[in-house]
Structure 1
């Protein structure tokens, strides 16, 4: 089957699905909610790169580097670290706005519902909210909460359970009182959910989610089969809005670091390196090519393929951060989270790369990771060179990996770009008629 026939077949299968998904109000609200947060995510991503510029800690004193990071960290702490809040507000706002309601109340009721469910204890001190719970780690619970809260609010408004004010009352005051009962009823539901969970062994909704997800990870270790499972789980968690690296790394880091240290000891002693899969194998040759999902190659694909304004803009704003392995702009801007059109390449590409890199090291074509911890913001090619003890093959296999990811993503990017381009043309035609 030639490339043209393959693309036609893929379009016939995926385009009808894409059309239905594009008209799904929940997915539309989810996409628009992420776009609301995108400017803040990009701002935070830029300063993450600046604050963690590769090898800067070796160029200046430890005290100067600490002061430098302390000065810049609030930029990411106030945006990336709490991105879940912005996405939740955006989803609630857009979902209620779609039905002609007051979007702002959809946003605030979604936020308040999420905060009700969130544990308000930090290191055994009550009255605080863990930052991890309102960042990327809390997105899965946040998305579900925003959907449910907005729908409850819409339901109570539709039932006309509202307070009617006299005609002479200012509009802002009237709308505020109209929202009082729907907001109260909606948030009461979430308070009941929190109370019910407090009587379970999990205590909170968040603990329930993470316990259920993390327990299957404890059986994983080194080796290619375990690595494939770990990579798939990282990708799958990210697809559903959970920070896959944090979930998987929290369980497997002790194993990967142990294997890493064994290689470092052997490298320093001039002996044969015992392990292929190590912490640096994952960080440099999988995650370290643009971030989770190896999205730097996706950005390159966007530059080569993109005709739609949305794709071009996403590529432009994602590229600078992507070079330093910060990929939130592409994950939330494309978007990748809960986008069925990208599920296949999102899951497949890193697995194929993991297999290729593993066997290239097993056969001796590429040196095994030397146990050298390379800063995570080190750009690809340079990171591969350093991680293998200054071997050019380390950079070469990263370049091959990027090509593999690019080839796998190519047809799916073409279809997405076509969908966005046609939608933009329709919107321009409708605007011209008006």
Structure 2
């Protein structure tokens, strides 16, 4: 058994352990421990009131100390941490992955974040019924589900963050896409302009992919799927 593991399993495990994408995911998620821990603690404190036996005394104590809005603190902490878990992961993974290629990671992080937001669907079929009037149906822009920000979309965010970073890093290495400014320009400005075209091309590519994907999905959906308000 040990010979089999050393011969067939360990080489694969070593390759996976040294994979830059998996390392970027690991480092980014580990770096988010403080966010996940404080968010989980806030959720726990807000839900102790539903625990049999200690729930009612706990609620009375919190109300006596902080008033009827005592659970607002936990809600606000959840909103700033776990509610945006996927967003933090997208930025962190892009930064770590770009750094593994020798890039400074800042521009790649921003481009991957923009690409993720570009791919979030914001169009829905809405039916409005005014008082005393007839129902009006049509497309509406700006409707975003919470599931695209919290841990529900974490796997999707990881995939798109890796894709966007890979495209950006590879395009940034093409010398014809690099804009070189005179030596008198501040280094920060020169670095930003040097990766201007790769960043624009990456965002446009991800947006085009999202458009094609939405067209494909819309053709599969039933025409009766509407969002009623």
Correspondence for 2:77:
75
**Please, what TM-score do these two structures have when normalized by structure 1?**
0.42
Rounded Cα–Cα distance in structure 2 between residues aligned with 1:106 and 1:203:
33
Match of 2:56 among 46, 52, 58: 58
- The CA RMSD over aligned residues, in Å, is 2.8
Structure 2 counterparts to residues 297-336 of structure 1, below 5 A: none
Match of 2:197 among 148, 159, 181: 181
SS at match of 2:216: coil
Q: Give CA deviations for 1:347-376 in whole Å, capped at 9, x if unaligned.
A: xxxxxxxxxxxxxxxxxxxxxxxxxxxxxx
Going from structure 1 to structure 2, the CA distance change for 1:19 and 1:152 (only over 3 Å counts) comes to same
User: Would you say the 8 A contact 1:121–1:130 is kept in 2?
Assistant: no
Correspondence for 1:172:
188
User: Would you say the 8 A contact 1:122–1:129 is kept in 2?
Assistant: no
Rounded Cα–Cα distance in structure 2 between residues aligned with 1:123 and 1:104:
37
Correspondence for 2:210:
194
Structure with higher strand content: 2
Match of 1:137 among 144, 148, 152: 152
Residue 140 of structure 1: how far off its partner (Å) = 1.7
Structure 2 counterparts to residues 79-158 of structure 1, below 5 A: 79-120=81-122, 126-127=141-142, 129-158=144-173
User: Would you say the 8 A contact 1:36–1:86 is kept in 2?
Assistant: no
Structure with higher helix content: 1
User: Would you say the 8 A contact 1:36–1:87 is kept in 2?
Assistant: no
Q: Give CA deviations for 1:266-309 in whole Å, capped at 9, x if unaligned.
A: xxxxxxxxxxxxxxxxxxxxxxxxxxxxxxxxxxxxxxxxxxxx
Residue 199 of structure 1: how far off its partner (Å) = 2.0
Q: Give CA deviations for 1:114-150 in whole Å, capped at 9, x if unaligned.
A: 1111123699674354322111111121111011100
Rounded Cα–Cα distance in structure 2 between residues aligned with 1:26 and 1:89:
14
Q: Give CA deviations for 1:172-214 in whole Å, capped at 9, x if unaligned.
A: 111111121111000001111122123234489xx9xxxxxxx
Structure 2 counterparts to residues 379-394 of structure 1, below 5 A: none
Rounded Cα–Cα distance in structure 2 between residues aligned with 1:192 and 1:107:
20
Rounded Cα–Cα distance in structure 2 between residues aligned with 1:72 and 1:195:
38
SS at match of 1:68: coil
User: Would you say the 8 A contact 1:163–1:178 is kept in 2?
Assistant: yes
**Any unmatched runs of 5+ in structure 2?**
127-139, 222-229
Structure 2 counterparts to residues 178-327 of structure 1, below 5 A: 178-202=194-218
Rounded Cα–Cα distance in structure 2 between residues aligned with 1:50 and 1:102:
39
**Any unmatched runs of 5+ in structure 1?**
1-5, 208-434
Going from structure 1 to structure 2, the CA distance change for 1:127 and 1:148 (only over 3 Å counts) comes to same
Rounded Cα–Cα distance in structure 2 between residues aligned with 1:32 and 1:122:
36
Structure 2 counterparts to residues 361-372 of structure 1, below 5 A: none
SS at match of 2:189: helix
* Residue 53 of structure 2 corresponds to residue 38 of structure 1: no
**Please, what TM-score do these two structures have when normalized by structure 2?**
0.76
